[in-house]
Amino acid sequence: MTYTNFTIETDADGIAVVTWDMPGKSMNVFTAEVLEELDAILKATVADAAIKGVVFTSGKSSFSGGADLTMIRGMFSMLQEATAQDPATSKQKLFEVAGQMTWLFRAIETNGKPWVSAINGTCMGGALELSLACHGRVVANSKSVKLALPEVKVGIFPGAGGTQRVSRLTDAQSALQMMTTGQTLTPQRAKAMGLVHQVVEPDQLVTAAKQMIKDGLKPVAPWDEKGFKAPGGGVWTPQAAQLFPAAPAILRRETAGNYPGALAILKCVYEGLQLPFDTALKVEQRYFTQILGTTEAFSMIRSLFISMQELGKGARRPAGVPKSEFKKVGVVGAGFMGASIAYVTAAAGIPVVLIDQSQEAADKGKAVSEKLVSDSVAKGRLTKEEGEKLLSLVTATPDYSTLADADLVIEAVFEDRNVKKAVTEAVEAVIPETTIFASNTSTLPISGLAENSKRPDQFVGVHFFSPVEKMMLTEVILGEKTGDRALAVALDFVGKIKKTPIVVNDTRGFFVNRCVFRYINEAYDMLAEGVPAAMIENAAKMAGMPVGPLSLNDEVAVDLSQKIMKASIADLGPNSVKPEHMALIDNMVDVLDRRGRKNGKGFYDYPAKPAKKSLWPGLKEFYPQKPAGDVDVSVLKQRFLVTIALEAARTVEEGIVTDPREADVGSILGFGFAPYTGGTLSYIDGMGVKTFVELAEKLAAQYGSHFKPTQLLKDMAAKGETFYGRFDPYAKVSQAA
């Protein structure tokens, strides 16, 4: 029999090598067809007496990234349709679908013939769960190998036997740590944990896997043998008596109870280790079904799995524009941002020219790349040769004529219109008509900057976030005259450097910064109300934000906030900034010289290492302090999330953001908006627009008019609409088709 996604070759020793190699895909993924073929292969190898064992491997550079987008989306569509048709039976249908992989993998585990998984490259999610169901696991000794069960990061958990097998192969504490954080393991770490049997050189992978079978590998999982005991002794041991009572408290400290999937992992492991294996799998299947039905899982999977991949693959790229090839990119401005942009460009294999006013300034910018490369080599992320190759792609110079053959030039100079005007004119004097010009600006409107260009259709905004080498998001900003080719080239470049792009129309602060400063401004309001700074920071983190607003303000620089406020007043008038906010920041910067982390003092104090930063005690003297007992933390949490979500809704109403996927993905990747919500618009959709409007009106009555819901939200509430319904990102695609 022939298969679409697999090939089978049986050698003279009766060992069948099953190679997973999906046509037309760069990585193997699970689809309904893949599962059907895998089931057929299992039955065929069991029925064939000549086959003594199976080596399961990949024909691609990586093993598998797990489930396919369409499979995940189809599962949720099925749940919605089944619930609409018959709510009473929808959960049963979902339970059956959720168990499909579980029981297929269990059938592999109990088929009577040894299976060995030969793992190369990335092996994550369901692919690792499949491997764990095999009787042997051999892993290539390579930096490209990444083993993980990262499902908790998208709102679910390893529900195809992962919680049960990992907790029976390694001690419970390590198992919980791995699964509740979604951490990635190296081959060596996985072997030390007992999750894999051998780590071999890549060219010996299949040979070593075959040898395991030849050496008499038993086709029985350890937990199916009589007398099996989990590593560490299971649940009823002194060690477990210390671990399991503390685990929920530790998890709550880390997640504030916002991630149901993480808590379900604890339940699956604790309950499962007390049960026979098949019963434990049913417990896991039950919890998996429950979690799939939560708002958190639906929203996180949609934004952090489906939407993020769609945007990364060019969902917003104009049709009909040829794909860009980058032979050279220019970066003008060798300050920290420009230097970092040059680094990620070179890291993507693109030659880059880094330009500044003098050779000394340009060299200083290249030194940023040298430091990043040195650190990566020291940590084993790059070899010395790879580091040298990367640095050879960066040319530091003050000579603008070197841009004459650049495909794209990115301006990353100081946030000053006059400086940017001079750079634009200098660059356009040497580049050909085909070169796209991009401005990296965090606040200045692109349409205004494009007025300095002779060809505004070739002018686009590309807003990077600091530190560039770590932040996954890039905002691509359309000026009023930006053409399709400029947008396509910008998106192609962002994809090439492995960032996720969102496309937004022009406005002051674009999307991310508008939302960020709402978050910070709400903290200013709370300070003025006398809310203790520690409660402000902790409430924000309890709401799901990665860092408190005062800490974030220190990171972006308090004096930058001052500059932005002053620019807003100059351009938009005195009512654009609250006087009490301006007074607070003027006092911090001009009187106290507290500018943030960069000068060692802001809302926090930054002592010399190893001491940790701490809130500046002087904040207590600014405003009369409320007793902690008089502050409702749940309201503080609501205020933070609602004010940010309202700003996101305003950008949609103003036509700045036109695709809800971009508001959600942008808010999470850009500044860490409570990931469990799925992002700003999913937060509103998740509770229902009507409920959100009522909450906003309640907050507006007590805390200010900036909480008043917009007319769009009121209209949507009256009609029972959602953002993903009214602004369906797939409607245009289906209409075009």
pLDDT tens figures, 209-238: 999 999 999 999 999 999 999 998 888 888
**Which of 576, 558, 556, 555 minimizes the C-alpha distance to 567?**
576
Summarize the confidence of residues 550-556 as an average pLDDT.
94
pLDDT tens figures, 489-501: 999 999 999 999 9
**218 or 628, greater pLDDT:** 218
pLDDT tens figures, 408-447: 999 999 878 899 999 999 999 999 989 999 999 877 889 9
Q: Which two tokens stand for residue 379?
A: 């940590």
What local confidence, expressed as pLDDT, does residue 87 receive? 75
What local confidence, expressed as pLDDT, does residue 515 receive? 95
Summarize the confidence of residues 360-384 as an average pLDDT.
94
The SS3 of residue 559 is helix
Distance CA 409, CA 407 (A): 7
Residue 135 known to be catalytic: no
Non-local (6+) Cβ contacts of 536 within 8 A are: 523, 526, 527, 548, 549, 550, 636
How would residue 40 be classed by pLDDT, with cut points 50, 70 and 90? Answer: very high
Q: Estimate to the nearest angstrom the gap between the alpha carbon of 310 and the chain centroid.
A: 13
Judged against a pLDDT cut of 50, whether residue 97 lies above it is answered with yes
Judged against a pLDDT cut of 80, whether residue 76 lies above it is answered with no
Judged against a pLDDT cut of 80, whether residue 287 lies above it is answered with yes
Contact 467, 340 (CB under 8 A): yes
Distance CA 491, CA 456 (A): 17
Listing DSSP states for 230-258 in one string gives -GGG-SSSHHHHHHHHHHHHHHHHHHTT-
What local confidence, expressed as pLDDT, does residue 323 receive? 94
What local confidence, expressed as pLDDT, does residue 737 receive? 40
Judged against a pLDDT cut of 50, whether residue 734 lies above it is answered with no
Phi, psi angles (nearest 5°) of residue 469:
-70, -15
What local confidence, expressed as pLDDT, does residue 732 receive? 63
CATH 1.10.1040.50 given to domain 513-655+659-726: yes
Summarize the confidence of residues 292-321 as an average pLDDT.
92
Summarize the confidence of residues 30-42 as an average pLDDT.
95
What local confidence, expressed as pLDDT, does residue 570 receive? 87
What local confidence, expressed as pLDDT, does residue 69 receive? 66
Phi, psi angles (nearest 5°) of residue 190:
-65, -40
Lowest mean pLDDT among 123-137, 549-563, 677-691: 549-563
Strands of the sheet with 122-124, listed across from one edge:
122-124, 146-148, 184-185
Side-chain half-sphere CA neighbours of 447 within 13 A? 11
Question: What percentage of the chain exceeds 70 in pLDDT?
Answer: 99
Please list the alpha-helical segments (H only) found in 379-467: 384-392, 417-428, 446-450
Q: Provide the sign of the torsion angle of the four alpha carbons 523, 524, 529, 535, taken in this order.
A: positive
Looking at the DSSP assignment, which residues form a beta bridge with residue 354? 331, 396
Contact 256, 544 (CB under 8 A): yes
pLDDT tens figures, 566-578: 988 988 899 999 9
What local confidence, expressed as pLDDT, does residue 416 receive? 82
How would residue 85 be classed by pLDDT, with cut points 50, 70 and 90? Answer: confident
What local confidence, expressed as pLDDT, does residue 733 receive? 54
Count of other CB atoms within 10 angstroms of residue 508? 16
Q: Which fold has domain 329-511?
A: Rossmann fold (3.40.50)
Catalytic residue (one of 135, 463, 581, 706): 463
The full set of domain ranges for the chain reads 6-293, 329-511, 513-655+659-726
Phi, psi angles (nearest 5°) of residue 395:
-110, 120
Judged against a pLDDT cut of 90, whether residue 73 lies above it is answered with no
CATH 3.90.226.10 given to domain 6-293: yes
Looking at the DSSP assignment, which residues form a beta bridge with residue 144? none
What local confidence, expressed as pLDDT, does residue 736 receive? 44
What local confidence, expressed as pLDDT, does residue 717 receive? 98
Judged against a pLDDT cut of 70, whether residue 588 lies above it is answered with yes
pLDDT tens figures, 317-346: 999 999 999 999 999 999 999 999 999 999
Contact 708, 700 (CB under 8 A): yes
Average pLDDT, the chain: 93
What local confidence, expressed as pLDDT, does residue 330 receive? 97
Distance CA 280, CA 287 (A): 11
Summarize the confidence of residues 545-559 as an average pLDDT.
94
Amino acid at position 89, single letter: T
